[in-house]
């Protein structure tokens, strides 16, 4: 069987010490393939310069897309790499050498010989290992995340024991890029949850980091939970959860102030002010975080969000007064009813106006041929 064309996509963030060794081992591993390496780099150090230097002497094309605005995080970087790729197969791997390049031929062979759409390097199938994770806490979190994802997507992930891995290959034609909504760092989960694909696995041992620092953070953990929620029931569910928590806080604040003898309209106004600001902070962090980069500034977002919620509260308060004064509905219950009616309006306003997705220009993906035997190099500075 002839080896297919192959694009190896490596998202990087401050991985300069690993670049030369990664390219050396990868080029040795893909001998016989018509292959290219595409670095999609969000670094703030000298990683782009190192990639350019290594590309000069590489025996296969090495291309660079440097993103000044890293929209979508690691997942967004992978999407940009896929968009620029030339290969029949795309392979995604980390730039820290915890994913062994020597496994690349086995992954591609497993995919082509089985007719699969996706070939996954799994830490959790028989023969695999996650020993490269920093400590027992991270290993426990990793296993728990896998179990949760497979529980929520039993059909789409039934043949994948490690949907959290960042080391996998897929047929480019099997993936619909416009179906993906990149965020965070679990791009394989995004791909598998939004497509019906045939999956084959190869065991691998997750290696020790050779240089640099781990990018895993508590914030990424929260983003993963948010990603699962959106994949399962959509963004509106997170907005609804934040809104529900805000509504509970609103009612609790109002009830507490009323119990202290504060007029119910004054209590409702104070409750609204507190929860409007609280909801904005939560929306920024957990609902629309993937639309912030490349979008309008935080002052504009705060002004338009708080402005709309303030107007909505000013409209809602007279309605609340009418309900309380002219019906037998208790004030706190009336507050809950008016909050529920406002939910859909607030979601539409925030998703379509405050956090409206803005189209950002993609880097020019046309490679520049340096010499017949030298590497191909691209970055968005050259494109400019």
Tens digits of residue pLDDT in 92-140:
999 999 899 999 999 999 999 999 999 999 999 988 887 766 567 777 8
Is pLDDT of 282 > 90? no
What's the confidence (pLDDT) of residue 366? 38
What's the confidence (pLDDT) of residue 238? 72
71, 293 Cβ separation under 8 angstroms: yes
Task: Please give the distance of CA 375 from its chain centroid, rounded to a whole number.
Answer: 30
Nearest-angstrom CA–CA distance, 14 and 51: 11
Higher pLDDT, 379 or 139: 139
What does the mean pLDDT of the chain come to?
Answer: 81
Residue intervals in the chain for CATH 3.90.550.10: 6-215
Q: How far is CA 313 from CA 266, 270, 336, in A?
A: 12, 11, 13
Is pLDDT of 21 > 60? yes
Residue 118: partners with Cβ closer than 8 Å, 6 or more residues away: 111, 160, 168, 169, 170, 171, 174, 188, 191, 192, 197, 198, 199, 200
Give residue 56's pLDDT band: very low, low, confident or very high (50, 70, 90).
Answer: very high
Of 173-177, 235-239, 255-259, 357-361, which gets the smallest average pLDDT?
A: 357-361
Q: What is the DSSP letter of 209?
A: P
Percentage above 70 pLDDT, the chain: 82
Higher pLDDT, 11 or 213: 11
For residue 383, give the nearest of 362, 369, 352 by alpha carbon.
Answer: 362
Is pLDDT of 367 > 80? no
Is pLDDT of 45 > 70? yes
Higher pLDDT, 103 or 226: 103
Q: What is the DSSP letter of 65?
A: E
Is pLDDT of 80 > 80? yes
Percentage above 90 pLDDT, the chain: 36
> What does DSSP say about strands 376-377 and 368-369: parallel, antiparallel, or unpaired?
antiparallel
Of 68-77, 141-150, 212-221, 351-360, which gets the smallest average pLDDT?
A: 212-221
Give residue 365's pLDDT band: very low, low, confident or very high (50, 70, 90).
Answer: very low
Nearest-angstrom CA–CA distance, 302 and 337: 26
Tokens for 269? 């106004």
pTM of the model: 0.62
What's the confidence (pLDDT) of residue 58? 94
Of 25-34, 161-170, 210-219, 341-350, which gets the smallest average pLDDT?
A: 210-219
128, 100 Cβ separation under 8 angstroms: no
What's the confidence (pLDDT) of residue 363? 45
User: Which sign, positive or negative, has the C-alpha torsion 148, 151, 152, 155?
Assistant: positive
Q: Which fold has domain 6-215?
A: Spore Coat Polysaccharide Biosynthesis Protein SpsA; Chain A (3.90.550)
Nearest-angstrom CA–CA distance, 243 and 309: 12
| Crossing angle for the helix pair 16-29 and 104-114, to the nearest 10 degrees | 50
What's the confidence (pLDDT) of residue 99? 93
What's the confidence (pLDDT) of residue 213? 54
Write down the residue that tokens 């405050």 correspond to: 354
Q: What is the mean pLDDT of residues 186-215?
A: 80
Write down the residue that tokens 């992930």 correspond to: 157
């Amino acid at each position: 069987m002839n080896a297919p064309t192959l694009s190896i996509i490596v998202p990087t963030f401050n991985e300069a010490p690993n670049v030369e060794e990664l390219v050396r081992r990868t080029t040795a591993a893909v001998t016989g393939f018509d292959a290219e390496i595409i670095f999609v780099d969000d670094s703030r150090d000298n990683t782009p310069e190192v990639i350019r230097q290594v590309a000069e002497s590489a025996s296969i094309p090495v291309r660079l897309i440097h993103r000044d605005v890293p929209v979508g995080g690691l997942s967004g970087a992978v999407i940009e790499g896929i968009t620029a790729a030339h290969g029949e197969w795309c392979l995604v791997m980390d730039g820290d050498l915890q994913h062994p390049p020597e496994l690349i031929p086995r992954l591609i062979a497993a995919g082509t010989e089985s007719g699969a759409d996706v070939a996954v390097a799994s830490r959790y199938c028989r023969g695999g290992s996650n020993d490269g994770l920093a400590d027992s806490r991270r290993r426990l979190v990793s296993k728990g995340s896998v179990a949760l994802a497979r529980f929520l997507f039993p059909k789409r992930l039934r043949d994948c024991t490690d949907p959290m891995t960042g080391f996998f290959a897929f047929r480019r034609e099997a993936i619909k890029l416009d179906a993906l909504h990149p965020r965070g760092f679990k791009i394989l989960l995004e791909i598998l949850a939004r497509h019906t694909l045939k999956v084959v696995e190869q065991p691998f041992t997750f290696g020790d980091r050779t240089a640099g620092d781990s990018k895993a953070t508590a914030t990424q953990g929260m983003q993963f939970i948010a990603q699962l929620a959106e994949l399962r029931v959509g963004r509106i569910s997170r907005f609804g959860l934040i809104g529900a928590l805000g509504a509970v806080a609103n009612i609790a604040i109002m009830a507490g102030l009323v119990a202290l003898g504060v007029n119910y309209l004054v209590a409702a106004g104070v409750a609204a002010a507190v929860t409007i600001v609280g909801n904005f902070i939560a929306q920024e962090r957990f609902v629309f975080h993937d639309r912030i980069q490349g979008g309008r500034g935080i002052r504009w977002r705060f002004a338009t969000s708080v402005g709309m919620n303030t107007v909505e509260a000013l409209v809602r308060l007279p309605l609340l007064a009418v309900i309380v004064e002219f019906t037998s509905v208790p004030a706190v219950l009336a507050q809950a009813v008016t909050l529920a009616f406002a939910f859909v309006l607030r979601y539409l306003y925030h998703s379509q106006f405050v956090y409206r997705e803005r189209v950002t220009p993609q880097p020019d993906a046309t490679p520049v041929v340096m010499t017949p035997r030298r590497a191909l190099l691209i970055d968005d500075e050259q494109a400019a």
